[in-house]
Chain A
Amino acid sequence: QTKTISGIISDQNGIPLEKATIKVKGGKASATSDANGSFKLAVPDGATTLEVSYVGMKPVTVSIEGKQSVLVTLNVTDSKLNEVVVIGYGTARRSDVSSAVSSIKAKDLKDLPVAGIDQALQGKVAGVSITNNSGQPGGGVSIRVRGITSVNGNEPLYVIDGVPILTNTTSTSQDQLGGKAGQTQQSVMATLNPADIASIDILKDASAQAIYGSLGANGVVLITTKRGRSGEGKFSYDVYHGWQNITKKLPVMNLRQYAEYYNSIVPEVRAAGGGLDTIGELKDPSVLGKGTDWQNEIYQTGKIDNHQLAFSGGQGKTVYYFSLNYFDQTGILLGSKFNRYAGRFSLDQQVKSWLKAGISTNLSRSNQRVTLADGVETPTAIVLYNSPATPVKGPNGQYITTTSLGSTTFGNSNSNPIATALLRNVKAIQSKAFGNIYTDVQFTKYLSLRNEVNYDFQLTENSAFQPYYVNEATNQVVLAPSRLREDRNTSFYWALRNYLTYNQSFGKHAINAVVGHEAQASHWDNKFVSVTNLTLNLQSSNAGTVDVSQTGGQKGDWSMESYFARATYTYDNRYSLSGSIRRDGSSSFGPNSRWGNFSAVSAGWTVTNEKFAQNWKIVDYLKFRVGAGSAGNQNSPVQNAYSTNIRLFSVAPFGAGGVPANVGNPNLSWEAVKTYNAGVDLSFIKKRIELSVDLYKKTTTNMILSTTLPVFVGLDPNPPNAAYKEIEPPVTNAGEMTNTGIDINLTTYNIQRSDFTWKTNIIFSRYRNELVKLNAPGALLRGAEQDFTGSASVVNITQAGRAVGTFYGYVTDGLFRNMSELNNGTNWGLAVGPQGIYLGDIRYKDLSGPDGKPDGKIGSEDVTFIGDPNPKFTYGITNSFTYKGFDFSFFLQGVQGSKIFNWTRKYTESLSSVYLNQSTKVMERYTSSNTGASIPRYNQWNNNNTRNSDRYIEDGSYLRIQNISIGYNFPAKWINKAKMSNARLYLSAQNIKTFTNYSGYDPEIGSFNKNVLSQNVDNGHYPNPRTITVGANIEF
């Protein structure tokens, strides 16, 4: 005889749980809850207890004695082992996963006042290094999954609810307005509201990535956004307000110090036979003030405001979620801003018992104002060497550039950094709509089909404007000419995806299989116009003269078609085996090599589920994982590189025509990445300690490389670089790079009492990058940096046998301190003498010569590798505490063993022009009366002392108190009166203190425009700010 028990299963928030398993204890009867969390189960009369379980939740037992119905609440388990992992085209339980996948939940990223989720992940995921490339609001962030995969793009594939985000966010290069370009690569994630994110899963090894085939090799970041849950509607409001400031200022001279410096240089120059006069105003430094503190002028207190409204809920067969977000940030550097309006909507409907359908839409509009930074003539750099004697504005209240003391001119004649920062208006406005529509068809209990259409529409409106500005009193030209550049780029992406999922357990066997097909295509269209001499400085392309050479358009499209399959077999929760295969066809390659295959296998053995382990005392869980697989990259630096394209030009002396744009390579194909991964997951002492360790070796072959030829070949020597309109050399598949590393994730639950908990999470990542070979012996890739005045010099070199982007320069050997050192027979490259090479100048080591041996001469052959910008390891330590209503977290993040090329010192310690302001350190330079100095003498006659050398290489290691936050949850009895279900107040501080020996603003430099070939070069860098935030989360 049986009786029927019914009930509803929900989570701790009351949200019904679908597909929870309900079993009779000691019996065979079982049932699964439906979308409303309800179930019906026929149980034997004698049954007294039900066991209810759900993936990622702590199982519970419920007494049914004398009951017809039960309400069961399940709580999310803290244990990572039970969490659901998104693995691409499906999900899996963590315990079934045998590849390297890292997951992070929204709650671990809360309280961080960041524009984009990419920034929030810093230091949180083992094997994933995240660097802010700029302190610019909305600025670029580099994410590297397990080291440097390629010398090409290294950014992972972002997939948001199944929609791959395939566009970059790029602002207009500021050299359009004259001067330097600045960083143009901005954060693509900043257009997405981080508060809508529920969880993030990162596929780190090829056995996981292979399912994404030719797009997955740099890692795949799968972002799952929040969706509604059935139950009473909820309404939440999150708000925070933050203040930002610069963490430190560099010690450059004030006016008084500068006057002393100037006065001390006069006799030095005269002694060397040069002419330099004293200046009346500077003769008595004691009456001078501090002059203009240019750093004070350009850095301000930044502000952040964020408001988020979210509504969610559902009834019966319908659930919904929608949110609105407003984010507004003013940067610490004058003129830099970012704001975003975002809305998100999702609806899921159980149409039939066997058919579910849903839609989600994200709308956002972000508006970024970019201040010119990163480069020698950018405001960030000029403030360091501009004269403290020059005022920001003249007596008439208008900006000036230079000022004269007697007949000597001070200041930067070509720009006033404050005017440049404030008057230039460089904006990147992105309007974006993306989302998907899906149906899920449940054919049988075990077989379902998902059909999905994705779309991504983007309108990018970039502009760069500068007014004509003349100081009316002095007629000094501060900014000229007036100029406006406007770019409009529209792109439309769609994907159509169908896949079958088969999921069945029988006895001890469990099978999960996916097979599917995907087609995707994108079209983009760009138009740009430049106008100069704008009437009344009107910011309109109607108001000036069109610059024909900078006006035009381009368009393009691409498509991909793919077939994929994955199967996972698990036996008795002890052994699991998984395999996947994907076949991709891409329009990026020619007909010869359009299709590529990617496959992977991985296996897991859960030792603790073996009989012999049943009685292990200490170890609760032990699992070994091994995997191998291949994934690809199809980022070609040149479009349609498989054919020789003709570049059409409109401006030429004898009229419009065409010249070869590139040398085609019809066989161009994928870049291939193979990863071998071995991991262990451990949990011991009653799950107090959880440890995951992964070892990997990642080998990239067939890198898509532009052939880098010597300049004298006459093709583009620095490909890909369309800017100079050189003929691009062929793009080939060549080279090999390896990354070997270890990722460790350790979580300890130190205290777990009902009123007090303390949890510690430690992340450790280490990799060693080695470029094994490039496309030719001796081939190299250069990372150039613009010199004091704009000509590029090589700083980073990427060459076989070294890490990517290794620094390159002369090796210093102290200073010349007596004449015999100068006259020891070595040819120092310049004649010995006061205006040549002389006492107090830097001595470089003669390391080589034309035949590879020291030749008694300082020259090109003596340049060598002088430092590796890649860190030895990175780490993050998070401690979280809860005490009654309070929560507290403390997050440290660090980088060890990286080197920085402190280019900034090339001007603050240049000692090459008496009119430039300098670091206060130059007071201790070498002089005839300070011959023990370590800083070289003043030398305005040649650039011996400012050659690229290890003089500028500094240790970039740091340990940063990245975040401290404290929050308070108001007790339910208080807030219920206000009909609130939850209310939390918090205070958070970011980038609080950095322990480092680095002498610049900030050891977190990153890569210029995300390019791994030029990383950790500090040249007028926009430093990361310190942020203090107060915020509240309120839920009704």
Chain B
Amino acid sequence: MKTINKYIAYGIIGVATLASCNKSFLDHPSENNPTLDTYYNTADQVLKATGYLYNSVWYDYQDKAFHAIGETLAGNMLTETGPNYGSGSYNLFTVLSTDPLVSSCWQSLYKVAGTATVLINTFEQKKGKATETNYLNQGIAEARFMRGAAYFTIARTFGDVPIVTDPVALAGSGNYSVPRYFQKDVLQFALEDFRFAEQNLPAVPAEKGRVCKYSAAGMMAKLYLYRKDYDSAKIYAQRVISSGNYDLYPDYAQMFTSSKANNNVESLFALQWIAAGGYSYANPIQVYAAPSTLLKPVVGTGYSSVYPTLDMLKAYDANDQRRQWSVMEHGFKRTDWTNINFPSGFVYDTTGTAYEDATHFRNGTRSNSLKYVVGTGSNGEALSSNGSSDICTYILRYADVLLIYAEAVLGNSASTADASALTAFNKVHNRNHNFSDVPVTSLTKAIILHERRVEFAFEGDSWFDIQRQGFAYAKSVINAQERGTLNGDGTVNHAAANLNSESQLFLPIPQSETVSDPKLLEPAVAYY
């Protein structure tokens, strides 16, 4: 009996062991995705990877920091005073290192840089294994453009900052401390990336919306201007102008309120948003900038968290049509934007007595910016579930290149009547017959900076125009601005910023970062 039992039992054990002795029993590579060994072997795979850099990696910068830094510090917009925007600290220059937008801006921009860097290094490694490397070089150039754009923005926002070129090596090293590098070196680092892109990207983008050689040249011109290297700025701006590939888009208002204008003839570099992607893929600006009367019944948003300052509204010349092309004020109407409360077209109505009701809206300056507001979707604009849209965010447009050119020609002179500078300037100034096509006949720094302020208002770049003039200038401009709001009776509740220290030209490094890398609290060192 017992012998038989044993045989049965051993039999069972044998079956069990056989089942698992199979060598592959413990091999379970992911069923969901390829691995690095099996990928980036075709041009298309590389191209799609760099395409990723135009979108969600920028999101946390785009949604709030973009306005708070680029516009609010500049005095063009006020933010709400809730903690979302650091309790309104950008309005008054009281930004702390624990500020939420300091963190999200830092994180997002370094995410752009880090993702680009991983792609650059991955493509470099793949180059060693591939037979045909051209597509990998193109991928590297496009990723370096993005990294340059990220570091350019980081350097302008935070000043002296760390640079990381090999995150994998750093992760493996066990020592994550990196010092801050001088801002000029960070700008140089960004410039090298742009230069590589300028030399390696095609003259015509591989697909509409991607960057090309001239996008890089334009960014270089902008960076040179920042460094007051007017000769170089002029050369690279000229290179873009001479290409003949760019022009101004004739309809300024449409350019900023319709995704149909995406990647138009004026656009050299724009972030590419996708409404269908939803949160973090879609352009959220109207979610924060539009009034609730427009969006709330449709998608529950329209927070009016950022809106024009009285100072900005005052800055428009009486005849400058860019005011109505850029700002909603009482009486503004769009018949193609409809919602449940405005079936025959949205009307911006500030005559209510409360902050908001279904059809009236009355914020602190009775105005909202129009740029990147595309409406309720009633005219065919795609919206995500919170009202974010497809509209691209212009980072560099041809108007900028023209004004850079004019400013570069002016250089350190008090004024200029140089014909090429005036032509470039007036092309922007008289777009769409603005100012009745009456040109400006002499340029000064003040004229150019004023033109830049109104031309680029609400586009997230204004603060850097002030900042690059230095502390004394910034102080005189900023502290003189009206940053107050209107009371219920229309009187002004005055407020002014207090820019009193040169360090306020830059945001503090987020506290969470200085905790993990105390070296960031030490004086900056040279990178080059």
Contact = CB atoms under 8 A, between A and B. Distances in A.
Q: Do chains A and B touch in the complex (CB under 8 A)?
A: yes
Interface of A: 178, 274-275, 277, 354-355, 404, 406-409, 414, 439, 441, 443-444, 449, 451, 470, 474-477, 479-481, 483, 496, 498, 517, 519, 521, 532-533, 547-550, 554-561, 585-587, 594, 639-640, 643-649, 651-661, 663-664, 707-715, 717, 724-727, 729-730, 775-780, 782, 787-794, 797, 829-831, 835-836, 849-850, 859-861, 863, 912-913, 940-943, 947-948
B114 A443 contact: no
A45 B25 CA distance: 63
Nearest to A550: B278
Contacts of A550: 278
Given A646-B35, A707-B171, A943-B96, A712 B297 contact: no
Contacts of A912: 83, 87
Nearest to B518: A778
B365 to A, nearest CB: 14
A963 B277 CA distance: 51
Nearest to B487: A275
Contacts of A708: 516
A587 B26 contact: yes
A768 to B, nearest CB: 24
Interface string B48-88: 11011011100000000000000000000000011110111
A507 B47 CA distance: 79
Nearest to A654: B51
Given A178-B300, A653-B272, A654-B54, A791 B84 contact: yes
B48 A655 contact: yes
Given A481-B385, A654-B51, A713 B110 contact: yes
A697 B510 CA distance: 38
Contacts of B487: 275
Contacts of B122: 660
A778 B296 contact: no
A712 B513 contact: yes
13 contacts: A449-B9, A474-B357, A480-B300, A483-B385, A547-B276, A646-B35, A647-B33, A653-B274, A710-B176, A712-B162, A724-B280, A725-B280, A943-B83
Given A555-B31, A644-B35, A707-B171, A715 B114 contact: yes
A707 B168 CA distance: 10
Contacts of B33: 645-648, 658, 661
Contacts of A664: 35-36
B2 A727 contact: no
B168 to A, nearest CB: 5
Interface string B440-452: 0000000000000
Give the most central of B28, B97, B178, B340: most A CB within 10 Å. Answer: B28
A793 B98 contact: yes
Interface residues of B, number: 123
Interface string B126-163: 00000000000000000000000000000000000110
Given A664-B35, A725-B280, A850-B521, 19 more contacts: A406-B353, A443-B5, A444-B2, A475-B358, A587-B28, A643-B30, A644-B36, A651-B276, A652-B48, A709-B167, A709-B171, A712-B178, A712-B517, A713-B110, A714-B112, A726-B111, A727-B115, A863-B515, A913-B82
B34 A646 contact: yes
B419 interface: no
A861 B514 contact: yes
Contact of A651 (B28, B29, B171, B274): B274
B522 A850 contact: yes
Contacts of A547: 276, 278, 385
A407 B488 contact: yes
A655 B274 CA distance: 11
Give the most central of B5, B122, B353: most A CB within 10 Å. Answer: B5
Interface in B99-129: 100-101, 103-104, 106-107, 110-115, 117-119, 122
A594 B115 CA distance: 30
A587 B27 contact: yes
Contacts of A559: 25-26, 28
A792 B516 CA distance: 16
B114 to A, nearest CB: 1
Given A653-B51, A788-B82, A663 B515 contact: no
B310 to A, nearest CB: 15
A178 B287 CA distance: 13
A657 B9 contact: no
B276 A548 contact: yes
B281 A532 contact: no
Q: Nearest 3 CB-CB pairs, A to B?
A: A714-B114, A657-B48, A791-B100
B354 interface: yes
Contact of A663 (B34, B83, B168, B358): B168
Contacts of B117: 714
B30 A639 contact: yes
Contacts of A793: 98, 100, 512
Interface stretch (B11-19, B225-233, B408-416, B464-472): B11-19
B326 interface: no
B508 interface: yes
Given A651-B281, A776-B175, A778-B516, A711 B510 contact: yes
A656 B35 CA distance: 16
B164 A712 contact: yes
Contacts of A707: 171
Given A547-B278, A725-B56, A829 B96 contact: yes
B494 to A, nearest CB: 9
Contacts of A913: 82
B171 A713 contact: yes
Nearest to A850: B521
B171 A717 contact: no
Contacts of B184: none
A661 B512 CA distance: 24
A639 B30 CA distance: 8
Contacts of A498: 12-13, 16
Contacts of A789: 82-84, 100
B488 A711 contact: no
Contacts of B521: 849-850, 860-861
Give the most central of A479, A787, A794: most B CB within 10 Å. Answer: A794
Nearest to B161: A712
B319 to A, nearest CB: 34
Nearest to B50: A654
B29 A660 contact: no
A708 to B, nearest CB: 8
Interface string B493-521: 10000101000000011111111111001
Nearest to B64: A791
Contacts of B273: 653
A404 B354 contact: yes
B366 to A, nearest CB: 14
Contacts of B167: 663, 709, 713-715, 729
B8 interface: yes
Contacts of B522: 850
A790 B100 CA distance: 9
A443 B7 CA distance: 11
Contacts of B30: 556, 639-640, 643, 645
A717 B108 CA distance: 11
Contacts of B512: 711, 782, 793-794
A288 B83 CA distance: 31
A275 B298 CA distance: 33
Contacts of B36: 643-646, 660, 664
B439 interface: no
A713 B28 CA distance: 31
Contacts of B353: 406-407
A69 to B, nearest CB: 29
A782 B510 CA distance: 14
B103 A791 contact: yes
A380 to B, nearest CB: 19
Give the most central of A479, A557, A729: most B CB within 10 Å. Answer: A729
A657 B513 contact: no
Contacts of A794: 512, 515
